[in-house]
Structure 1
Amino acid sequence: MGWLGKRLKKNGIAISDHYARTEAYFDLTPAGRTLIDTLDPLIASHARGLVLDAGAGRLTYAKRLKAFSTGVVSIDRDRVFPGISAVADLESIPLAKRSFDSVFCSQVLEHVANPMAVLLEFYRILEPGGKLILSVPHLAYLHNEPHDYYRYTEYGLEHLLAHAGFEVIEMRWSGGVLSFLGHLPSTLLLNLTWGIPGLFDLLFWLNRGWSRLIGRIEGNDRKQKRFALNIALVAKKPESPFK
């Protein structure tokens, strides 16, 4: 990676850290805006009781999860951001079985080598009748190398979740071709101008409008599913599980 590439990466991390717990975080790219517009109604309808935020990273969703739950436990394999409850591997979560009412996991499953092991852990720690709110990429650029292992289809997700013991009760599609193509220019413009007073602020607000416009155009219409950027779903652990 050359000097420019390293600078862009460093600035990208700084921008994400700066905006992580704000609504503006989801306007950094069209992909972020379309994803949160898809996840918000799922969180509002299904995040209940004690919630595990699995792969919480910068705690981007913490405020939303707390609004609909009695408590949130956040875990990640690295202590990326202050406020993480515990450092843990999702393939072997050091928490008691049947100890959570909901599990939230957004844009993480593509970064684990053994997704089935992770889903089985989610099943184990959920109470009977508990819900898993999950989002994964369907169409995405290579990122977070070398830990970028998978892209998912609705059929692959249904297969994995069924084998882990879950029943998929709702599935939505997020973004499309415009969100995909808009990701790179949004990222480049912001990362190149970070730290330049005035110019970054101007481009940020222009980019925010661009991201929200694409969000309105693409929405989470099922017609977008062939070229959807992300898939979001809710899966339920049976009330009387066999395992």
Structure 2
Amino acid sequence: MFKSKMKRTAKRISRRPLNAMLAEFVRAIPEGSRVLNIGSGGEVMDVIKKAMRPHVQIVSTDIDPARKPDVVDDITDTKIDPESFDYIICAEVMEHVNEPFKAAENIHNILRHGGKAFVSTPFQFPLHDAPYDYFRYTEFGLKNIFNRFRVAEVRPRGTWGSAILLLVLRSLWFGDRRIDAAVHLMILWNLPLILILRPLLGTTKTPYLCSGFVCNLEK
């Protein structure tokens, strides 16, 4: 039960800045737009629906038909028509794509001229959905992959303090008593320093130590 609680806490800390940045992007989408959501369901879709304006068409795709997308499609070999969407959302998907350059090319092709895309990827995150977990991207890797876009802003999500906290929490997932004991000792030993640095930990962001990245792209 303790480890399950730590997992939920870690996910909440990691997703809070992502959800805020996604909601900011979605709220700016004007009515009458056509939006493609690539492979993102669950909590991500909840954020999208809550922030979306009325009279916006959302089409969801996924490679897995069991997830019941509107269209079953592989973004690396897409059947979606070129320049058919005004906005694209691809949240926490690129790490599972085995041909990221092809996926980026197709995202670019699907967007209409002047269209915008929101792409998020984890950075410090444990192996998940094995064996379909292929990559962790740096800021520079993402800019390279999406180099065809006219605007490619890459922002770190979360602070370096939250990134350190996530590393500590996620180290408790391994189920090794020696690791658990070492982590607990480390927390107790560093607790006074963490409390002293708390104001700084809560505001400083750096691409060198963060939970993930968000790309704001424009064609």
When normalised by structure 1's length, the TM-score is 0.65
Could you tell me which of 38, 62, 70 is aligned with 1:76?
62
Summarize the alignment of residues 23-102 of structure 1 with structure 2, pairs less than 5 Å apart.
28-45=11-28, 49-58=33-42, 59-64=45-50, 66-67=52-53, 70-82=56-68, 84-102=69-87
Residue 191 of structure 2 is matched in structure 1 by none
1:124 matches 2:77: no
Q: In 2, are the aligned partners of 1:158 and 1:168 still within 8 Å (CA)?
A: no
**Counterpart of 1:198?**
none
Q: Which digits, 9 at most, give the CA deviation of each residue in 1:189-232, with x for residues without a partner?
A: 9xxxxxxxxxxxxxxxxxxxxxxxx9x9646x5x3321011111
Output the aligned Cα RMSD: 3.3
Aligned-pair distance for 1:179?
Answer: 4.2
Distance change (3 Å), C-alpha of 1:80 and 1:32:
farther
Seen in structure 2, the aligned counterparts of structure 1 residues 227 and 121 have a Cα distance that, compared at 3 Å, is same
Q: What does the per-residue CA deviation read over 1:137-185, in whole Å, with 9 as the maximum and x for residues that have no partner?
A: 22221111111111111111111111xx212343321123434534774
Find the counterpart in structure 2 of residue 174 from structure 1. Answer: 157
Runs of 5+ unmatched residues, structure 2:
174-197
CA shift in 2, pair 1:232/1:218, >3 Å:
farther
Paired residue secondary structure (1:110): helix
What is the CA–CA distance in structure 2 between the aligned matches of 1:47 and 1:183, rounded to whole Å? 38
**What do residues 70-125 of structure 1 show as CA deviations (whole Å, max 9, x unaligned)?**
2100011113545x211111112221111100100011001010001111111111
In structure 2, do the counterparts of structure 1 residues 65 and 147 end up closer, same or farther at CA, with 3 Å as the change threshold? Answer: farther
Higher relative contact order, chain-length normalized (CA < 8 Å, sep 6+): 1
Report the TM-score, using the length of structure 2 for normalisation: 0.71
**Matched residue type, 2:156:** W
- Matches of 1:128 and 1:109, distance apart in 2: 23
Secondary structure (helix, strand or coil) at the match of 1:113 reads coil
CA 1:139–1:166 in structure 2 vs 1: closer, same or farther (change >3 Å)? same
Could you tell me how far apart the structure 2 residues matched to 1:71 and 1:27 are? 33
Identity %: 27
Counterpart in the other structure of 1:205: none
